[in-house]
Amino acid sequence: MKKLLVRTETPELENIRDIIQTIEMPVNSFSNEIIGRLEAGAIKKNKSPFMKKAAIATFSAATVGVFVIGSSFFSPVMAESLKKIGVVNSIFKLAGDMGLRTADEKGLATKVNQSDTHDGITLSIPEVINDGTRFAMAVYRDAPNMTSYLNGMKVNEDGTATSESESAKGTIQQVELLFNGKPLHATNDTLARRIKPVIAPGADKNSAILMFSDLSNNGLGDSALPNDFDITIRLTLSKVKEPFNIKIPVKKNTKDNIVLSTAMTKEFEHLRITLEKAELTPITTRLAIAVDGTSEDIPKKYRADKGLVNKTNLQSKFPGLDYDLIDDQGNPVGKVSGFGHDEIREGYAYYDLTYEPFKEIPKSITLKPYIYVLKDKSKSSGEFLYDNNGQPVKAYIKELEMTIPILK
């Protein structure tokens, strides 16, 4: 097999990576299903070890469409490890995402070193990654004596993460993307046509990783971004009046991406799922999935909204599924992000999912749809059932699994 990843690292870095391994986040985190379970206390931060490692994805009132991910990134153990290795010259080196670490190790990150300054704070973007499927940029904040976390998630002594207080200064509140000087989407566009940036933890409180993908997988016919382009990142920080505008050139860093236009479909219990496209790069694995939610006979256990199905409430028809991805040896790849949108009138849902890269180009990949098991199986909503390791129990739907061969 052709090798995609060669890792060379110190024991200290390996220890840090063990702490910040990629975190699963439900694909349907935008839906009423997840919101309802959070409100019901289904995921208990203080009782479940899962939440000590789990990402916290949230919408801020000022940042609709921007996801903030917090984790136990800066735990006491990690802090001690950082002291041993000293200054890290790339925040991608410590990313919880294997794809970004691979890009750093293989020299696939482009140095740009652009910045802007307001109110005594300098924001800079020193490097960027573009593999044609997703875009990632390191963001640094130079602000003497500032104690807040740039990504807006305060890390506690026990490694858990909570949102910074409203009084905190210098946290990212809003992200705007301008492509060749023009907004990537108009303000009156639907959510389906809005690029949704993800803000992930950086190497410390003064850094963050900003990621986004284009809209080519949204099922609405939008085109991909070109390989080379200029983009302006407009960042608004809390308690800072003027936004920071940083213009950077972006160039595709990878070659020979594997693109599989499969259009493979499976159907079971009135669920109909189509894997429209899969793309494999040394940095990312990206999938485009379409789900047919038009049948009124879809079992309630599969629905994103557990309410009764009726002709005026098509939202309740959309299947609340998540998806694992494995190679031909059964090795899974970690999820990076998942976005989707619901075509209410048509009764379809489209998902744009990104995963970590495979260590080697596999002979095939298998998509494994599943639902989370509830603690009380007699109910249609409520608390997740957890295993002995504090992970939510999954119920895989074998009949909907799809295996796609990769020809080399």
The string over 274-312, giving b where at least 16 C-beta atoms fall within 10 Å of a residue's C-beta and e elsewhere, is bbbbbbbbbbbbbbbbbbbbeeeebeeebbbbbeebeee
Interatomic CA distance for residues 88 and 359, integer angstroms: 24
**215-219, 267-271, 274-278: least confident range:** 215-219
Determine the Cα angle at 29 with ends 28 and 35, to 5°: 115
Predicted pLDDT of residue 347: 65
What's the whole-model pTM score?
A: 0.67
Predicted pLDDT of residue 94: 66
**Per-residue pLDDT tens digits for 175-215:** 988 887 777 654 445 444 557 788 888 888 899 999 887 76
Predicted pLDDT of residue 237: 96
Mean pLDDT estimate for the chain? 72
CA atoms within 13 A on the CB side of 337: 25
Give DSSP secondary structure letters for 138-153.
EEEEE-TT--S-TTSE
Confidence band, pLDDT 50/70/90 cuts, at residue 339: low
The residues, ordered by sequence, that sit 6+ positions from 236 with a Cβ below 8 Å of its Cβ are: 62, 172, 173, 174, 175, 176, 243, 244
350 has a pLDDT exceeding 90:
no
Task: Identify the residue with better confidence: 197 or 245.
Answer: 245
Among 338, 358, 288, 304, residue whose Cα is nearest residue 69: 338
For helices 11-19 and 76-85, angle between their N-to-C axes, nearest 10 degrees: 150
CA distance readout (Å), 403 to 176, 286, 355: 38, 15, 16
Strands 198-201, 207-212: pairing is antiparallel
Given a contact cutoff of 8 angstroms between Cβ atoms, the answer to whether 354 and 281 are in contact is no
Domain ranges of the chain: 53-251, 258-405
CATH fold label, 258-405: Immunoglobulin-like (2.60.40)
Predicted pLDDT of residue 141: 96
273 has a pLDDT exceeding 90:
yes
Predicted pLDDT of residue 206: 93
162 has a pLDDT exceeding 70:
yes
Interatomic CA distance for residues 222 and 109, integer angstroms: 26
The whole-number average pLDDT for the span 275-283 is: 90
**70-84, 88-102, 103-117, 229-243: least confident range:** 70-84
What tokens appear for 179 in the block? 């492509």
What tokens appear for 161 in the block? 């993460």
